[in-house]
Amino acid sequence: MKSLRELTGIDDKFISIRCPVCARDIILDRCTYFNFKGPIKCSDLSHSHSLYVKIKDGRLSTPPQPIYFDDPDFKSPPIPVEILNDFKEAAICLGNNAPNACVVMCGRILERVTIDKNAKGNTLYDKIKNLYESGMISKTLYDAFTKVRVIRNVGAHYIPSVKIKDGEEKKIFDITKHIIEHVYILPLLTR
């Protein structure tokens, strides 16, 4: 069997990642993490954050992004405390490699947002459509809601041929964060 050095030209057996939150170095086995997209645990003892990393061909391809279990930018008010709690739970799912649970929590957040906005309809699909058709949300926001709803369904229901793609839960988590900011924070900033 060829050695890692012969295959890749990389000597070092380990990848060292400096945590941007607490400046600790996290050491990963380069073979195990040679191509990896997902969360890794920080060794920080407070357990307040994980890191989302993208490693391609044994090297970090983008700077590690922190996932805060208690996002310091998010406060109540203006964000309803139930949404903050659900967002925190989504972050814990994301940081612990639970993609299905993560997108389900994001869908739950949208359910709460649509109720806050007095959307009419029985299903989340109906409620999002109602918000858009009544001019309460823009096309961009409608598309964002729809993306989260569709992937939420993938996470919530077992269909053998349909699975959440690699790294998709991070995208849904980020979109959900933007939706929360758009609905609850942006109106205050532009008042």
Chain residues in the site for Zn ion (CB under 5 A): 19, 21-22, 42, 44
Task: With residue 141 as reference, give the H or E element that holds it.
Answer: helix 139-156
Residue 27 Cβ vs Zn ion, minimum distance, rounded to whole Å? 13
Least Å from the CB of residue 152 to Zn ion:
29
| Sign, CA torsion 156/173/84/44 | positive
- Residue closer to Zn ion by CB (options 22, 185) is 22
Least separation, in Å, of the C-beta of 74 and Zn ion?
A: 19
Q: What angle do CA 96, 102, 106 make, to 5 degrees?
A: 150
Are 33 and 16 spatial neighbours (Cβ–Cβ below 8 Å)?
Answer: no
Q: Closer CB to Zn ion, residue 10 or residue 21?
A: 21
Measuring CA to CA, which residue among 19, 12, 14 is closest to residue 39?
19
Instruction: Tell the smallest beta-carbon distance from residue 22 to Zn ion (Å).
Output: 3
Q: Which is nearer to Zn ion, 22 or 79 (CB)?
A: 22
Q: Which is nearer to Zn ion, 44 or 181 (CB)?
A: 44
Q: Give the helix/strand (H/E) hosting 8.
A: helix 4-8
How far is 103 from 96, CA to CA, in rounded Å?
Answer: 13
Please report how close the Cβ of residue 96 comes to Zn ion at its closest, in angstroms: 15
Task: Please identify, using beta-carbon distances, which residue of 51 and 175 lies nearer to Zn ion.
Answer: 51
Cis geometry, peptide bond prior to residue 78 (ω within 30 degrees of 0): yes
Gyration radius from the chain CA atoms: 19
